[in-house]
Structure 1
Amino acid sequence: MGFKLPGIVSPKRSLTRSSSNANKTASKTLDIPKGYFAVYVGESQKKRFVIPISYLNQPSFMDLLSQAEEEFGYHHPMGGITIPCSEDTFLDLTSNLSMDGSYEPSISDIGLVSQSSINGSDCNEMQYKGVRYDKLSTEDLKGQEFKTVEEAESFYNAYEKAMGFDVRSDYKRLSIRIIGRVTSLRLVCSAQGKRREEYMSNKKRVRKPKKETRFNCPCLFKVRYRSNINAYMVDDFITIYSHQLAQAHESHLLRSYRSVEDHHLALATSMQRVSVKPCHTYEYIVDRSGGFKNVGFIMKDLYNKLDSRRREILLEGDAEAALAYMRGKVATDSHFYCKFSIDEDNRLANMFWRDSNSLVDYTCFGDVLVFDSTYKTNPYEKPLVLFVGSNNHLSTTVFGFALLMDETIETYTWVLETFISSMNNKRPVAVLTDGDEAMRRAIEVSLQMVLKNAGMLWLTHMVSTIRIGLR
């Protein structure tokens, strides 16, 4: 069985012209070689041209596409891209583009050029105060000062890329007095330490253990904030390695140096909306950047970034869906109650709700309240708080629910005050909880006046060990 390979288009015949009819558009897409696309040009009679994708790098050609978008939008009359200019003008433009083999990125293309392409020189040619990175010693750097912790991190990230190893943060300690002030930072090689022996000698292991990636590498970089000079001073700098370093042509594959920029993510997201696969988008970015080493990330990083972005959108959509559901319940239940709060990023933080049946049950059987929270078993990692009690049939009755941002005293105080407010300010006689310290403090803060004036009985015990007769 044989098959036909697409022909190679020479530079002199980079434009393949043919007449175009609307009923032949589908069949003519089959003769487009890889790396080319079809456009339609002409004033009265449209003619079809097959041009290389590399023309998309040219500012003059992008101007034509912008004019096409302004005139036709995204609905082109020929089904493909229709350019509003004469045939002679188009031929003159493309002939000039074909003659010019070299291409320098313009200002509009900088968004697709990685930072590594700007620093195109050999990494080992980089210097710190006249000393090459590969010649730096402990004495050269110990005692040196950096104005900010970001400046120190930037230096060591450049150093690790020049030398050919990955970096991870061993610890970063913050100041107690000044919010956000980093007091000390220690960066180590990703091969620092060693895998615990219990994971290596487990005889019950079913799968083959992963490849060893840590070799007790002693390389590190440590800075500490000095208040007398208002700067960060290098306390320790070790340049000894216990493993093979990456070569210069492999440095772009180091994990700590790879990152998907926002403009690349926006491009991939837009391409997905028009059914372009991320792998094809990555190839396009590689072509625009001038090679894999200039992109700044690998294809797997792009897939991971798109997946995490998709999960964020789903979580945000779930919050909107939950609030829409609560609004629908209010329309059908006049006594339905829901209250929520948002965080500094304008995201859903805490939410409490109860229906009219819960209000009636609490009015009749709300003298004893069981206040407990479950572990973060939901995909949003939010504690679920249950307000329950017992009716006259010794059956469990639910008074309300709450999804919380965390398990702090402030959050528990908010949900307790919201619960009491939703129940027409009726307070329970006894509160049973599992003895969590944050819960106890929140109950003291929320019900302190009642404890003093009304003599409320507050019982705290372990629900898991004492039967409370609820079933």
Structure 2
Amino acid sequence: MAAAAGTGAVPPPFAYDKIYRTDDEAYDAIAQAQNALGFPLSKKRSKANPKTGIKNRIDVRCHKSGTYRPWKHNSNQYQTSSRKSNCPFYVIIRFDKNTGGFFFEVVSEEHNHEPVENPLDSCRSRRQSQVHFGLLRLEKLVEARSRIPGLTSKDIAEQIVSEHPNLAVSRHDVLCMQNKLRRSRTGAFGTVQTFLDSLAESDKVFYFAADKGPDDKVARIFWIYHSNIEDWKRSPEVLMLDTSYKINRLKMPLLQISGATPLHTNFSAGFGLTVKDDLASFTWILKQLKITATKARIPLPVVVLTDFDNVSLKKASEEVFDTSEQQVCMWQVIKDVTLAIQRKWIGGPDGSVIMSNRLPNPPTRVANPPSPPPNYAPYNRQGQDLQNTPLELEIDQAAERAIQISWQALQAPPPPDVPMGGPRKFSENADGIRDAWIEVCRAETETEFWQRWAQLCYEFPIQKEIITYLHDTLVPERHQFAQYSVKWFHNFGIRMITRNKSSHLKDFFESSSTDLCQLEQHIWEMVSAYCETYEVSLQRELGRRQGHWDEFSVVKDIELSVGSKTMEEILRRVRCALDELQGSLPSQTCTGQFRKQMGLPCRHEILALVRKSEMLQREHIDRHWWLKRPELPTTGIEGIG
């Protein structure tokens, strides 16, 4: 073979005079030899003997053979790729009647183009290496790694190539194989129908329902497991609603419904998938949840927590659970404010934590925006206002930093009070206005709320965009997150959905190519893992007893009825009651707020028991905190497909 024209490439010797047993063996030999030089080949044409069926001629050309034909000049001809260079390389594989084998007839050995530097850049090079490696063997590798949570198609391809250096596999090849494997699992009916059939046949599922849209396609799905019903019956008082995006190949947002246990860990109380994250879809899913509660004889929640960003989900919750207190996640509010400050702050770097963690061009994600209420003006990650468009903030790098900053801010102690008009109370930087807003949210009365709001506006007069955002977007919804309001909710001190975020399905996997059957499998694994972990924690709490509890005889009868953290909360009130009894703490009028919010005895109730030499009983504590509580029998109901 002559050197490649214009390239100076000298190919290794190749035995063109060798006889091969089959045409495939001959083609593989020449293809591997040329592929090693960076010249992928392809079969352009073949002819077979009509009587014997044996191929007597196979034309082998370079992948750049032929010429580029612009479409406008050849409207009735095949449009070739612009990468064509009319490469002259041409070899014919012919059948030898005398030997019964196949030999080469060389027409041209030259190439007129540069070789492919990376085999991954050529689909033919990749295909030839995969055929040589074994397609079935490669599919098994892809299938095994696809079961590993968190691995994307790119990760799988990189792992396989690192383990098998002579094999060329790209992200696209992995996606194609995953689609092939998915089709083999779902059959002719498709992934949605297969998913519904698996729910109908599963003995783990307590109830499921599906609803079709105007196009007669499944648009909404709801399901709940038997173990979810058992957990929900034990702790029905608080529900938390959270949506997730980009976790299945159909791009269907997932609504995860959770509750809080006596140990204030979370459990799942149902799951919903929907094509659109609009009001009608979320309303339908929550109505299915309400139907499940009625049939399983579970009380409706006292408090429902949602994310502030999802306006449609908030409206659906208010409509379906109209007798429940509606509350938004305080952590989500502070995170949104932190991101707003990063985008709208007037002034350069000021040494604040918020601005030092600012990203110049973080990604933006908006999915199926429903119609928002008036004055709702969220923002995207590029710093642009999205008027009348709610934003579901994905946990990317920018949001993750905002999460850390907002969490630290929530844990910080409040600054001392400073009268307005005196010295500054907050730092004159981005952290300062964030801290000022947190103080507004911590106000114990509505009057104090507006006083602190006036302080914020007074100390940051030039930050008009931030103040406008706070005033138009958050202040109208203050009754759902401000301390002076939610302290009268029967929420047991739960103000954030971070515990729900921590067990998010994205912790299991982040592949957007996951089908619904795989999604359900991961969800069941999450539910099963929670059940095992909770039982271990519950048994540990039932046997946990602190030595300093003996100092307070008033709690002797409830030591094994509640968790250790709950007991410590009660003991703080016991100490206050004893201090008031000894005169070291002034007496106060009981407002009933602590009992209303926490479901625990306040210091005034405990003081009354101490004076009567009585002890706290389990009945003095809300059933939410009981480690062991009576359960109603669970009766199954059939799903509807």
Q: TM-score, normalised by structure 1?
A: 0.35
Q: Which TM-score applies when normalising by structure 2?
A: 0.26
Q: Which protein has the bigger strand share?
A: 1
